[in-house]
Structure 1
Amino acid sequence: MPLSTADTTLHLSHTTPFNAPHQRSFTCSVNPVVLFSILDHYLRRNENQDRVIGTLLGVRSEDSSEVEIRACFNVPHNETAESVAVDMEHHRTMYELHHRVNPKEVIVGWYATGSNLNSYSALIQDFYSRETTPFPAIHLTMDTTLTVAGRDGMGVKTYVSAPVGVSARAENCLFLPIPCEVKYFDAERSGLAALPTGHPSTHTFYYFVCMRVWAYM
């Protein structure tokens, strides 16, 4: 489905966490398998793609104040200077297949590589917000330039959104940073513990992220 935005788009983003009016406390955790899946998607992208996106799956606490991101899958999309198109049929087909195997895991948001938030991010966020209604959609970003990852841990950040402006337009969106931690199971911790004994592969960034995940244990 094509999404478009006008040149007059109002887009705001804050780099420090804060609570918007009537915004409840909200936190999330992410399984390391999700981070590696996102990285694998990025490494397999088409040469003309600046970033890749996909759907996040997980479970919510009883009061919906905590979300555990357990899995993800990629969603084909195309961005140009004028519009962004997201393959929603692929998104829904993949979710139906995943839901048959893991019925407890639902759509909780979406991911994108890169650390920047733009007007297209707001449009895609609007789509996923409708998929997660009445709960907020989480947007996870993973930096792939190493610059943010080197300065701010793994370069992984998570957000929820809130409308801004007098008119209810999809692109009028405020991204609010929320706390996020990496959550391991015992088997994954044992596997990650062996990573520092290896050597960097041809995919230096993949090895780098492995090391950053290990540092968070």
Structure 2
Amino acid sequence: MSNMNKPPLVIIHPLVLISVVDHYNRIISKTQQPRVVGALLGERKADGVIDITNSYALPFEEDPKDQNIWYLDHIYNETLFELHRKININEKIVGWYSTGSRFKPNDIQINQIFYKYTTTPIFVIIDVHQFDPLSLPTEAYTSVDEISKSGEIVQNFVHIPSTVQAFEPEEIGVEQLLREINNVDTQSLSAKAEQKINGVKGMNKKIAQIQQYLTLIQQGKVKPNQLIINNLQEILNYLPNLGSQDVVQAFTTKNNDNMLTIYLASLMRSIIAYHNLINNQAQQEKKVK
């Protein structure tokens, strides 16, 4: 595949991530297999974006000592895909996934199988052990033809930008799962503050990437992409005028309201704790008598 046919973006839905984690946990609990493999279902949009909405597990084995020895049940893949087509005819095989942190040498061979189902198979690596709250556990790739030093045409993986997005029903489902894991209503103030700190760190990381990109353009090392520049200009247009007295006053008022809320909450917590202490003392005196 040439670079001209490379998808501009890969969108991965939460259902895919949940299914992959479930697949990994089921297999790892029974075998010593280091990773699992499965098919990705979705569709290609008119603008070339790959929308991955579903997935299913595939029987896969490989020799840990010789990565050229591996087995993928493509007959099972075709049978299961036909069953999925009866449920949703719009979902087609768009690629495959593998768990882990990076691709392996035999992955380019596995990728060849999926050219039977799509002209541009997408390979997504999902790191089920990713705990960094500032980054996504997914990396998307596609294969391109390159000419080696010996003059032969070989295939190599190239990176594709990827993101995680959800339909409204999926968002409701994910929120329900989070409530089962952690009661959001009783979330502590420190946990909420930690979430905000992680959000600020993530934003700071993105701003650093933007700064690096603009610096490379200024140095003439990268050609400017007009779409990216337009998006940056739109972001800057949304920034408030911090020199305006009205904006300063609004920020000050909002901050004072927040500080007053925190003060009242702390005061009420102290009063309740003092009240409980008095009740405990009274109960202890009754027991002594």
Equivalent of residue 90 in structure 2, options 80, 94, 104: 104
Q: RMSD of the TM alignment (CA)?
A: 2.4
Alpha-carbon distance, 1:114 to partner:
0.3
Contact 2:111 2:123 survives alignment (8 Å):
yes
Classify the secondary structure of the residue corresponding to 1:103.
coil
Q: Which residue of 1 aligns with 2:140?
A: 158
- For 2:123, the aligned partner's letter is H
Q: Flag the structure with larger Rg.
A: 2
Q: Which residue of 2 aligns with 1:28?
A: 10
Alpha-carbon distance, 1:129 to partner:
2.4
Indicate whether 1:50 and 2:64 are aligned: no
TM-score, normalising length from structure 2?
0.56
Uncovered stretches (5+) of structure 1, i.e. residues with no partner = 1-19, 201-210
**Structure with greater proportional helix content:** 2
Contact 2:7 2:50 survives alignment (8 Å):
no
Alpha-carbon distance, 1:191 to partner:
2.9
**Cα distance per residue 1:174-210 (max 9 Å; x no partner):** 211111111211122123234444447xxxxxxxxxx
- For 1:47, the aligned partner's letter is T
TM-score, normalising length from structure 1?
0.73
Q: Which residue of 2 aligns with 1:182?
A: 164
Q: How far, CA to CA, are the matches of 2:7 and 2:56 in structure 1?
A: 27
Q: Which residue of 1 aligns with 2:51?
A: 68
Classify the secondary structure of the residue corresponding to 1:119.
coil
| Structure number with higher relative contact order (C-alpha < 8 Å, ≥ 6 residues apart) | 1
Contact 2:3 2:144 survives alignment (8 Å):
no
Classify the secondary structure of the residue corresponding to 2:31.
coil
Change (3 A) 1:21 1:71: closer
Change (3 A) 1:109 1:84: same
Q: Which residue of 1 aligns with 2:101?
A: 115
Equivalent of residue 167 in structure 1, options 152, 155, 159: 152
Change (3 A) 1:54 1:25: closer
**Cα distance per residue 1:39-62 (max 9 Å; x no partner):** 100000142210000000001113
**Structure with greater proportional strand content:** 1
